Amino acid sequence: MYIIYLSDSIKEIMFEALRQKAFHANLDIVKHRLVIITWGNRSAIDRVTRLVVNGSSCSCDMAQAEVEGEYEKGTGNLVVERFNELNPDFIPGVLVKNHVPFSWWKNAYDAVHNAVVMEQVAKMAYIAYGVNPNLTMNPHLIKKYFYRKHGPGAYYGQ
């Protein structure tokens, strides 16, 4: 790990650039109809300097004490707990009960892309299960679809 020392004026410039990325990502979630009014937001992070631009307005199924206490932390804990045995590089998003999707990737733009994909997959699943509540998927195909994009010999993906 490298330790980077930056002057306050450089940090301000970098933070403003990161804030602009988050701002444009927030415009994208409106453009893609992922939010209504202000019911969602996108964050941005610079992993080298560890600067973060974040705005979080969440609603999830939590105990009254959690809601009235450290609400955002509790929601974040739900996401972390979900990934105890999962790789967030392979699954760049999560649906939290009674909440909008949380998504991430290399930058804020790609995180919006992943949120669009999650919304579309959710719509497709909703329609498919509405037509056939006993719907199943071949487990061999699930494995194939995953590893052709994420496996050691990955060959598929845009």
pLDDT along the chain (158 residues), means of 10: 68 78 79 64 63 46 75 77 76 75 83 84 85 88 82 72
* pLDDT value, residue 131: 94
Q: Is residue 133 part of a domain?
A: yes
CA distance 15 to 95: 29
Structural domain span for residue 87 = 8-150
* pLDDT value, residue 59: 33
Q: Is residue 87 part of a domain?
A: yes
Q: State how many domains the chain has.
A: 1
Q: Is residue 19 part of a domain?
A: yes
- What CATH code is carried by the domain that includes residue 48? 3.40.225.10
Is the pTM higher than 0.75?
no
Q: Is residue 28 part of a domain?
A: yes
* pLDDT value, residue 108: 83
Q: Is residue 86 part of a domain?
A: yes
Q: Is residue 32 part of a domain?
A: yes
* pLDDT value, residue 56: 44
